[in-house]
Chain A
Amino acid sequence: MIDYQTGFTGLTYGHIILICVGLIFIYLAITKKWEPYELLPIGVGLILANMPYTGLLLTPEQAGGVPGVAGLLGIFLEFGLYKYTVLPLLIFLGLGAMTDFGPLLASPKGFVLGAAAQMGIFVAFFGALALGFWGIADFGIKEAACIGIIGGADGPTTIFLTAKLAPELMGITAVAAYSYMAMVAIIQPPIVRALISEKERKIYMKPQLRAVSQREKIIFPIAVMLIVILLVPRAAPLVGMFMFGNLLRESGVVDRLSDTAQGALINTITIVLMLCIGASMSAELVMRPETLMVLGLGLVAFAAGTAGGVLLGKLVSRLSKEPFNPILGAAGVSAVPMAARVAQHIGQKANPRNFLLMHAMGPNVAGVIGSAVIAGVFLGILG
């Protein structure tokens, strides 16, 4: 008799449900083009992680260091996320190399909107704490911070913080962040319309921003790196990598490095990181009521962040001498560039003469800095 087991014997309802979720992600990525670079590998990771007896998730630690026993996804998870958390930081390097701070430098009001849109993080933070307090979910202060950071609308920041503070929530917080980023065009417009009158939405802004010199673009990432890291040292991995990537781009002397960071490197790391995110959602970790609560609170965080940005946008619009369209506040939610595109779309719908995309890119990239700062604060206090 041969001792051999097929995967069928180990399949549970939890596995089957999550394999179906993986298939849905792949479907959405391919047919709807919803964040395909993220959802496609996450879907595959989900499927692989929920196949029984594969050994793919066995980490080197679990394998007792015996060579050849650990699984591929377990190796990625242990060294890329749980132990050293290098993968989201390398993504941040690539994102920095892809980011143009020109619109923010041309119109620095965007910084304030980027800060206001972080309100959602704290709304969800208190929401999660309340669920923990009432005994509805097993959320403590670290879990609440990781759930709140979904409102930063920044995938790598969410993954980085969750891997450090509450690794068991990593898969679901990351999926929530990326899913809601993909759904920004559905989540934001009703909130913007509810909070901004049609008259305000029609406010016309000149499409052209002033030209920003290369010298400004070179000094900016260095200045941000120095100041932000001195004030929030634990934000150094995120802010340092982001600004380093941006300096590669703007310096103009290391084109090959810049091209690699925003091309081959970020693509390679995206494959590995997103597979890991999918793989971190095994049925044992995900099939519990807390998962739905994390998804719900993530949505609240996104909505509250949008509302915070929009309300401050209204204030800036009132105080500004030049015409300022408060829709731009919604772009402070740092889902780059989706939130900026949504602002452009709503603005143009209200007033076909309006072209707000470049204006919206400022608060959009300021939001990335804002959420990295808050992640650093959480890590500094709770890490």
Chain B
Amino acid sequence: MAIDWGFALRIAGFGLLLVFSILALLIVITRVVTRFASKKGPEEKEKKEERE
């Protein structure tokens, strides 16, 4: 069967690039979500109270 190897390589390259980029982007989003929505630990709470 005739295979267009160039097209196949482009699909694979694009797919891998996209999956790494998206999951890396999700790391950044997770960090942002954590920063604004995570539970404050007792140490952080104490520090905040001290500052206030």
Using CB atoms and an 8 Å cutoff, list the residues of chain A in contact with chain B: 104-105, 108-109, 111-112, 114-115, 118-119, 121-122, 125-126, 129, 132-133, 135, 138-141, 144-145, 210-213, 215-216, 219-220, 223-224, 227-228, 231-232, 366, 369-370, 373-374, 377-378, 381-382
| Candidates B16, B33, B38; contact of A118 at CB < 8 Å | B16
Which residues of B18-38 are within 8 A (CB) of A? 18-20, 22-27, 29-31, 33-34, 37-38
- A216-B38, A366-B26 given; 5 more Cβ-contact pairs under 8 Å: A108-B30, A112-B27, A133-B2, A139-B1, A373-B23
12 CB contacts below 8 A, A to B, read: A105-B33, A105-B34, A112-B27, A115-B19, A126-B8, A126-B12, A129-B3, A141-B4, A141-B7, A216-B37, A220-B29, A232-B22
Choose among A105, A108, A115, A138 the residue that contacts B20 (Cβ–Cβ < 8 A).
Answer: A115
User: Main SS of chain B's interface residues?
Assistant: helix
User: With A125-B8, A370-B23 as given contacts, are A220 and B15 in contact (CB-CB < 8 Å)?
Assistant: no
Find chain B residues with CB under 8 A from A231 CB. Answer: 18, 22
Q: CB distance A227 to B26 under 8 Å?
A: yes
A351 to B13, CA, bound (A): 38
Contact of A122 among B1, B2, B15, B38 (CB under 8 A): B15
Contacts of B22 in A (CB 8 A): 227-228, 231-232, 369, 373
Q: Determine if A227 and B1 form an interchain contact, defined as CB atoms under 8 angstroms apart.
A: no
Partner of A112 from the list B4, B15, B23, B37 (CB cut-off 8 Å) is B23
Find out whether the CB atom of A211 lies under 8 angstroms from the CB atom of B20.
no
Query: A215 contacts B27, CB within 8 Å?
Result: no
B interface residues, tally (CB under 8 Å): 29
Neighbour of A378 across the interface among B15, B23, B25, B31, CB < 8 A: B15
Q: What B residues does A219 contact at CB under 8 A?
A: 33, 37
Q: Are B29 and A223 in contact (CB under 8 A)?
A: yes
- Docked Cα-Cα span, A121 to B30, in Å, equals 26
Q: Tell me the complex Cα distance, A133–B11, Å.
A: 17
Task: Report which of A115, A121, A213, A378 forms a contact with B38, defined as CB distance below 8 A.
Answer: A213
Q: How far is the CA of A369 from the CA of B21 in the complex (A)?
A: 12
Are A232 and B18 in touch, CB under 8 angstroms? yes
Nearest CB in chain A: distance from B14 CB, A: 7
Cβ of A215: which chain B residues have Cβ within 8 Å of it? 37
Cβ of B48 within 8 Å of any chain A Cβ, yes or no, is no
Measured CB to CB, the nearest residue on chain B to A367 is B23
Docked Cα-Cα span, A219 to B38, in Å, equals 11
Shortest C-beta distance, B37 to chain A (Å), equals 4
With contacts A135-B1, A377-B11 known, is A216 near B18, CB below 8 A?
no
Cβ of B39 < 8 Å from any Cβ of A? yes
Nearest Cβ on chain A to B39's Cβ, whole angstroms: 4
In angstroms, Cα B19 to Cα A115, docked, is 6
A366 near B23 with CB under 8 A, answer yes
